[in-house]
Amino acid sequence: MFIISLDYQVSLEDVDRFIPEHVDFLNEQYVKGHFILSGRKEPRTGGVIVSTLNDRNELNKILAQDPFHREGLARYEVTEIVPTKASEALQFLL
């Protein structure tokens, strides 16, 4: 499992131009079961994605398809986590 933290490298005006395409990218990954949570940071300096994938190479290939990555709009920090405890609603992650 991975937590992906995005930090914008350009103005919000530039980011906003690619929001619809970024949302399409996210939606595709949700349908495939690769992502389970995402949202923007507050203040709006980037976003966070939680991925159920456990193969870093596969995740890197997927993230390369994100328009924010492709256009150089955000820097990505990827942290692998191994869940050992979860609420009842999230037991499927263990």
- Domains of the chain, CATH where assigned: 2-82 (3.30.70.1060)
pLDDT band at 93 (very low <50, low <70, confident <90, very high): confident
Instruction: Name the strand (E) or helix (H) holding 22.
Output: helix 19-31
pLDDT of residue 14: 97
pLDDT band at 90 (very low <50, low <70, confident <90, very high): confident
Q: Evaluate if residue 92 carries a pLDDT over 90.
A: no
- pLDDT tens figures, 22-71: 999 999 999 999 999 999 999 999 999 999 999 999 999 999 999 999 99
